[in-house]
Amino acid sequence: MRVSMDIELKDAPGQLLLALNPISELKGNLKSIVHHHEDRTPRSTIPVQLVFEVEHENLDPIISRLEENGIGVARVDEKRFMEHGAVILIGHIVHTDIQDTIDTIDKTGFAEVVDICLSMPHIDKRSSASLKIDAVGRKELHEAMAVLKKVAEKKDLLVIEPIEAEVA
Could you list the residues that contact another protein (CB under 8 A)?
Answer: 86-88, 90-91, 117, 119, 121, 125-130, 132, 158, 160-164, 166
Among 154, 29, 23, residue whose Cα is nearest residue 101:
154
Residue with Cβ nearer another protein (36 or 92): 92
Q: 16, 23 in Cβ contact below 8 A?
A: no
Residue with Cβ nearer another protein (87 or 136): 87
Residue with Cβ nearer another protein (51 or 86): 86
The torsion angles phi and psi of 134, rounded to 5 degrees, stand at -105, 145
What is the maximal distance between C-alpha atoms in the chain?
73
Beta bridge partners of 119: 128
